[in-house]
Amino acid sequence: MSRARFLAEGRLFEGEWRFEERVLLTSGGRRFSEEEVTFLPPVKPRTVVGLALNFADHAGELSLEVPKEPILFIKPLSSLVGHRAPVRYPRGVQYMHYEGELAVVVGKEIRRLRAREAKEAVMGFTLANDVTVRDFVGNFYRPPVRAKGFDTFGPLGPALYSWDEVGDPGNLPLEVRVNGEVRQRGKTSDWLFGIGDVLEFITSFMTLYPGDVVLMGTPPGISPVKPGDVMEVAIPGLAVLQNEVVAEGGLDDA
């Protein structure tokens, strides 16, 4: 069952997200349309770990060397927002872009996990948009805290999907649409490092906890977005994560 977290009528709910019908059903039988709710990220992680340059073609479009081991960064929790939440375009930046990704959600405390044990350690999957300001990233890798760490720069959702719902997470289509136009398209089969390898690498030096999120990297095809654009990260036929870009100051920033 696709599990979503959302606010409605001043209360926090968890329920089933029915993508085709665009409705949410609670365990108590309540039914809400997506227009009636505020989506939250489907999980509450302690840590969000991002994986950079996990597609060789993405490294190529940035004129960067293909990494020999996973390159990691931490996405701040203050960046996380849900499906349909606005993403703020910071004042003064020149080049802000989407990065559509599959996100792995950890299901239990793990340390020194072996790659072959990955399936039993994973709670499920969701979609992520690792929004980035290119102004603050040069053509060499460095921890991109400012580039990726703005508030609202971490949309997750719309729901949490089980391994069975997803099928083979290492063989999924992934695309990003901006205002309905496909801008980015890739396949998770082109990852340089798969889920098991990444979890083994991360947990060789740090503990991951239930609900923690690992962003598995973005395919080639980044391009700028501006206020008014609507970004959609999609696994066709399964899920769409939608967020509109708004000018900073267009929301109550208090």
Q: In the prediction, which pLDDT does 142 show?
A: 59
**Residue 185 or 254, more confident:** 185
- Token pair of 63, please? 């004129």
Residue 169 domain-assigned (yes or no) = yes
Q: In the prediction, which pLDDT does 20 show?
A: 85
Residues 237 and 196 in one domain: yes
The CATH number of whichever domain residue 59 belongs to comes to: 3.90.850.10
Q: Is the pLDDT of residue 249 over 90?
A: no
- For the CA atoms of the chain, what is the radius of gyration? 17
Residue 252 domain-assigned (yes or no) = no
Residues 114 and 227 in one domain: yes
Q: Is the pLDDT of residue 60 over 70?
A: no
Residues 104 and 171 in one domain: yes
Confidence of residue 139 (pLDDT cuts 50, 70, 90): low
Residues 179 and 124 in one domain: yes
Q: In the prediction, which pLDDT does 254 show?
A: 38
Alpha carbons 76 and 99: distance in angstroms, whole number? 16
Q: Is the pLDDT of residue 140 over 80?
A: no
Tell me if 49 sits within 8 A of 213, measured CB to CB: yes
How many other CB atoms are found less than 10 A from the CB of residue 135?
14
Q: Is the pLDDT of residue 252 over 50?
A: no
Residue 170 domain-assigned (yes or no) = yes
Residue 28 is part of which domain span?
A: 1-39
Confidence of residue 62 (pLDDT cuts 50, 70, 90): low
Alpha carbons 57 and 219: distance in angstroms, whole number? 7
Residues 17 and 85 in one domain: no
- Token pair of 12, please? 């926090």
Residue 161 domain-assigned (yes or no) = yes
- Token pair of 121, please? 């350690």
**Residue 64 or 23, more confident:** 23
pTM: 0.92
